[in-house]
Amino acid sequence: MTSAADVIGACLRLCIAALGAAVLSGCSGDSLEVFGGPTMGSTYSVKYVRASDGPSVDELRAETEAILADLDAAVSTYRDDSSIQAFNRLPVGHCMPVPESVVTLTRAGMELSQESGGALDLTLKPLLDLWGFGPKGRVERPPTEAQVRQVLDEQIGLAHLHLEGDRLCKDAPVALDFNSIAAGYAVDQVARRLESLGIDRYLVEITGELKAQGRKPDGSAWRIAIEAPHDDERVAQRIVSLDGLAVSTSGDYRNYYEQDGRRFSHTLDPSTGAPITHRLASVTVAHPSALQADGLSTVLMVMGPEKGFDFAQSQGIAALFVVRGETDFETMHTEAFDTLLGEGGES
């Protein structure tokens, strides 16, 4: 759905810590199986505990890749034949039937937008293109304030969308981009399919968004490293244990460009139509739903360190904030983050 560079920047890939060999056996005879591959311009991986009579790697790989292929065909803005690109080309005042995934993502985006006061907006595609963060790539120069204002006034806003059953309608020339929540949705879909097949111990990672359930064959927890916001290297900020939780990180330290001494982040503020400029370098959210974790990490990144932290604290969101200080990064986390992940976390 996006280029590899954009995915790495937008998702701030979470690395999986200390997983050992590809196949490990526990005392019960269960084994840890691993498979993965390319998807959405990046990669995915699934690690699951297989009983002797459980589904094979080949079976689960086929199931997983079918889910990912269907989602890509529905919501990718990097292929002209996707359902969402067909909707984006749809004339104003028209409706069209869309897949269930598009209906679900649209509803989720509308709810997150309403809850956050508009910090998340699925109609930012024209602005992402204008700033050089869309499928067409970088622009020669950043847009002018007048250009941004014209797009904001004429092409942006979830109020211009509505659903009629499985039909999506527009009353303005809006274009949708689900990259702020699609990967999280994909994780939830794969996790749900694994559970329907009797797999209740797994770690699913798709373009950096992930969810873990249960424990490994030896009884140890799934442990992941939350990446520190460094431009040129991958360093663990904190290691946490997961069971029944998804984790998503958003940040501005990889997907950006600089021009005339200014730094332009790929994260846009829907209220201004411009890249964020505050000191928040990254924010990590833990939530039972990967879709919610994905969307909320974007919401908090847009809000910034002060407003975002207050919002997360008041809403009981488990979030870890990494803020640029005068000489180094500073971290702060909500009470909910400490409750969910504090005991198993390591700095």
What is the per-residue pLDDT across 170-228, written as a single tens digit (0 to 9) for each?
A: 999 999 999 999 999 999 999 999 999 999 999 999 999 999 999 999 999 999 988 76
Q: What percent of the chain has pLDDT over 90?
A: 72
- The stretch 285-306 carries a mean pLDDT of 97
C-alpha of 143 from chain center:
26
- How would residue 289 be classed by pLDDT, with cut points 50, 70 and 90? very high
Higher pLDDT, 293 or 347: 293
Report the range of poorest mean pLDDT among 56-65, 114-123, 237-246: 237-246
Average pLDDT over the chain reads 87
Tell me the Ramachandran region of residue 157: left when phi exceeds 0, alpha when psi lies from -120 to 50, beta otherwise. Answer: left
User: What pLDDT does residue 10 have?
Assistant: 38
Say what the pLDDT of residue 266 is.
86
pLDDT recorded at residue 24: 42
pTM reported for the whole predicted model = 0.89
The DSSP output letter for 64 is H
Given a cut of 80, is residue 239 above it in pLDDT? yes
Is residue 146 packed enough to be buried (19+ CB in 10 Å), middle (13-18) or exposed (0-12)?
exposed
DSSP secondary structure, 42-59, as one string? EEEEEEEEE-TTSPPHHH
Spatial CA neighbour of 175 closest among 84, 278, 308: 84
Measured distance CA(96)–CA(106) in Å, rounded: 14
What band does 256 get if pLDDT is binned at 50, 70 and 90? low
Q: What is the DSSP string of 223-280?
A: EEEEEP--SS---EEEEEEESSEEEEEEESSSSEEEETTEEEES-EETTTTEE--SSE
Tell how strand 318-324 and strand 329-333 pair up: antiparallel
Residue 154 to residue 218: CA distance in whole angstroms: 57
pLDDT band at residue 341 using 50, 70 and 90 as cut-offs: confident
CA–CA separation, 29 vs 130, rounded Å? Answer: 55
Length of the chain: 347
pLDDT band at 258 (very low <50, low <70, confident <90, very high): low
Sheet containing 222-227, strands listed edge to edge, beginning at the edge strand earlier in sequence: 15-16, 222-227, 236-242
For the stretch 90-111, pLDDT in tens is: 999 999 999 999 999 999 999 9
Residue 54, by phi and psi: left (phi above 0), alpha (psi -120 to 50) or beta?
Answer: beta
Closest CA to 157 of 179, 125, 189: 125
Residue 162 CB neighbours (<10 A): 14
H helices of the chain, in order, are: 4-11, 57-75, 83-88, 100-115, 125-131, 145-155, 182-196, 290-303, 305-315, 335-341
Indicate the range of 58-62, 248-252, 262-266 predicted with least confidence.
Answer: 262-266
- Considering only 20-29, 133-142, 293-302, which range has the smallest mean pLDDT? 20-29
Q: Which is higher by pLDDT, 16 or 114?
A: 114
- Is 50 exceeded by the pLDDT of residue 232? yes
- Reported confidence tier of residue 233, pLDDT bands at 50, 70, 90: low
Rg of the chain over Cα atoms, rounded to whole angstroms, equals 20
Q: Is 273's pLDDT higher than 80?
A: yes
Quick one: pLDDT at residue 86? 98
Residue 12: its pLDDT value, please? 38
For 13, 112, 237, 243, 293, the CA distances from 286, given in Å and listed in that order, are 15, 16, 15, 11, 6
Comparing CA positions, the residue from 324, 310, 311, 340 lying closest to residue 251 is 324
pLDDT of residue 9: 37
Measured between alpha carbons, how far is 150 from 226 in angstroms, rounded to an integer?
Answer: 39
